[in-house]
Amino acid sequence: MADHDIIIDFSGWIGIDSKKLLFLHTGKMETISGDEWIKLSEDDRADYIVDDIIAAIRDAEEGEWDLIDIADIVEIEKN
β partners of residue 37? none
Long-range CB pairs of 52-57, under 8 A, 24+ apart, other chains included: 52/22, 56/14, 56/16, 56/20, 56/21, 57/14
Give, rounded to a whole angstrom, the gap between the first and last alpha carbons of the chain.
Answer: 17
Give per-residue pLDDT as tens, 39-50: 999 999 999 999
On the question of pLDDT at 73 being above 50, the answer is yes
Q: What is the chain's length?
A: 79
On the question of pLDDT at 70 being above 70, the answer is yes
Give per-residue pLDDT as tens, 18-69: 999 999 999 999 999 999 999 999 999 999 999 999 999 999 999 999 999 9
Q: Where do the domains of the chain lie?
A: 6-78
